[in-house]
Amino acid sequence: MTDDLLRLKTETDAALAAAGDLRAWDAVRIAVLGRNGALTGLLKELGRVPAEEKRARGAALNALKEALTAAIEARRVALEGAALEVRLAAERMDVTLPPRLAPGGLIHPISRTMEEMAAIFGAMGFAIAEGPDIEDDWRNFGALNIPAHHPARQDMDTFYVPGMDVEGRQRVLRTHTSPVQVRTMLNQEPPIRVIVPGRTYRADHDATHSPMFHQVEGLVIDRAITLGHLKGCLIDFLRAFFGIDTLPVRFRSSYFPFTEPSMEVDIGWNRRTGELGGGGDWLEILGSGMVHAKVLANCGIDAREWQGFAFGMGIERVTMLKHGIADLRPFYESDIRWLRHYGFNPLAPATLHEGV
């Protein structure tokens, strides 16, 4: 490399080193590579070089151009990197600051349990039936083999609504979800497989009774449904619902006017710890039985042809057991602290594939 080229290289390197920011760097770049830059000038003069030197001079200039271009680019990268470092050093935040969260809403435990019941019974082929809260005394009692004088009618603590319905019957707040059995059997030909979750009302208010509460009713009517199916269905449900596949389930003879035979169903638990599944104690959890021939007849179903079972359980009760909720009354108080504590994430609904 001739002296002039070497000098240009040396001077450019020094100028680049001296350029502290991109603006100074750009001045160097223009001074060297620009239209009137030093290197551009040398290239223009190549034509005047004697022919025998031209080849060597051209090669030297090209080498110089590559070297200078690389040096200028390298300096740009270095300067930009340094500038970014400075910016990043300045752009710091306290990442422990609390972010602004969208307020999280919640699903009430009663709704959650109803959803879980729909998922589990749905897999067993049940549909969901519904009925009004204000019923008449025939659907709530008479059709269900609870005649007017029956002691069971007194045990129900019925709320009466003034006046008669369109069919001339006394209006009542339904004391159980069982009137929907009657509605279903009158509106639909068997086979029938429904559950009926819903609000129910009894004039009773203390630590363990609420004047409004929720039940789920089940009704299965088919040709060859036996008491064995009743047991299988309820055992399958209880084990899935409580998530204990060895949950002990006991069936005891009992009495309900609308079923025969009737059974109380107990699950195994530990009375002392409240833990479900073992412990040697029994906890009454629901009532069940084969649908009474009178109930079928009152709804126009021939008991020689069709038979089946029904059951009913308290939704609050199984919810309290499943989640270890000690007190009934806060279910209805809408205390935001209780709701936040026991409520469920709406984006994680109860489905069988995600787990109930």
Partner 1 sequence: MKFPLSWLKTHLETEASLDEITTALTNIGLELEGVENRGAALAPFVVAHVVEAVQHPNADRLRACQVDTGSGIVSVVCGAPNARTGMKGVFAPPGSFIPGTGITLKVGDIRGVQSAGMLLSYKEMGLGEDHAGIVELDDSAPVGVGYASWAGLDDPIIEIAVTPNRGDALSVRGVARDLAAAGLGVLVPFAPEKVEGHGASAVDWAIELPLACPWVLGRTIRGVQNGPSPKWLQERLVAVGLRPINALVDVTNFFTLDLGRPLHVFDADKVAGGRLIFRAGDGETFLALNGKEYTATQDDCVIADANGVQSLAGVIGGAATGCDENTTSVFVECALFNPVSVALTGRRHQVISDARQRFERGIDPALLPDAVEAATRMIQHLCGGEASEVVAAGAEPAWQRTASLRFARLREFGGLDVPADAAVAALERLGFGVVARGDASVTVSVPSWRNDVAASSALEPSPSLPAARADKAAEGRAVMEPECDLIEEVLRLHGLDSVPPVSLPVAGAVPVATLSARQLRSAVARRTLAAQGLAECVTFSFMASATAALFGTAHAALRLGNPIASDLDQMRPTPLATLAMAAQRNAARGFGDVGLFEIGPGFPEPEGQLLLAAGVRAGVSSRHWQGGAVAVDAMLAKADVWTVLAGLGVPMEALSVTADAPGHYHPGRSGVVRQGPKTVLAHFGALHPAVLAALDLDGPVVGFEINLDAIQDPKRRKKAAPDLPAFQPVRRDFAFVVEGGVAAEAVLKAARGAERSLIAGVALFDLYEGDKMEEGRKSLGVEVTFQPRERTLTDQEIEAACQKVVVAVAKATGATLRG
Q: Which of residues 21-80 bind partner 1 (CB under 8 A)?
A: none
| Contacts (Cβ under 8 Å, ≥6 apart) of 270 | 278, 279, 280, 281
Q: Please, how many CA atoms are within 13 Å of residue 332, restricted to the half-sphere of its CB? A: 13
Contact residue for partner 1 among 58, 81, 83, 154 (CB under 8 A): 154
Q: Identify which of 197, 231, 214, 173 has the alpha carbon closest to the alpha carbon of residue 320.
A: 214
Tell me: does residue 267 bind partner 1 (CB under 8 A): no
Contact residue for partner 1 among 110, 244, 283, 325 (CB under 8 A): 110
Q: Which of residues 284-303 bind partner 1 (CB under 8 A)?
A: 290, 292-294, 296-303
- Could you say which DSSP state residue 88 is in? H
For residue 270, the minimal CB distance to partner 1 (Å) is: 19
For residue 54, the minimal CB distance to partner 1 (Å) is: 52
Q: Identify which of 276, 231, 278, 223 has the alpha carbon closest to the alpha carbon of residue 251.
A: 231
Q: Identify which of 247, 246, 251, 245 has the alpha carbon closest to the alpha carbon of residue 266.
A: 251
Cα–Cα dist 40/2, whole Å: 16
Q: Mark the segment that binds partner 1 (CB under 8 A) among 43-51, 55-63, 73-81, 159-167.
A: 159-167
Cα–Cα dist 25/73, whole Å: 10
Contact residue for partner 1 among 24, 124, 244, 325 (CB under 8 A): 124
Contact residue for partner 1 among 11, 13, 26, 236 (CB under 8 A): 236
Maximum separation of any 2 CA atoms in the chain, in Å? 133
For residue 278, the minimal CB distance to partner 1 (Å) is: 18
For residue 88, the minimal CB distance to partner 1 (Å) is: 22
Reading the block at residue 192, the tokens are 């029938």
Which residue stretches of 254-335 are H helix?
A: 293-298, 315-323
For residue 260, the minimal CB distance to partner 1 (Å) is: 5
Tell me: does residue 269 bind partner 1 (CB under 8 A): no
Tell me: does residue 311 bind partner 1 (CB under 8 A): no
Q: Which of residues 247-266 bind partner 1 (CB under 8 A)?
A: 250-255, 257, 260-264
Q: Which of residues 192-231 bind partner 1 (CB under 8 A)?
A: 193, 199, 201, 203-205, 211-212, 214, 220, 224-231
Tell me: does residue 271 bind partner 1 (CB under 8 A): no
Q: CA geometry: angle at 205 spanning 200 and 209, to 5°?
A: 60
Tell me: does residue 102 bind partner 1 (CB under 8 A): yes
Tell me: does residue 349 bind partner 1 (CB under 8 A): yes
Cα–Cα dist 159/86, whole Å: 77
Q: Which is nearer to partner 1, 76 or 322 (CB)?
A: 322
Contact residue for partner 1 among 60, 61, 68, 143 (CB under 8 A): 143
209 phi and psi, to 5 degrees?
-130, 140
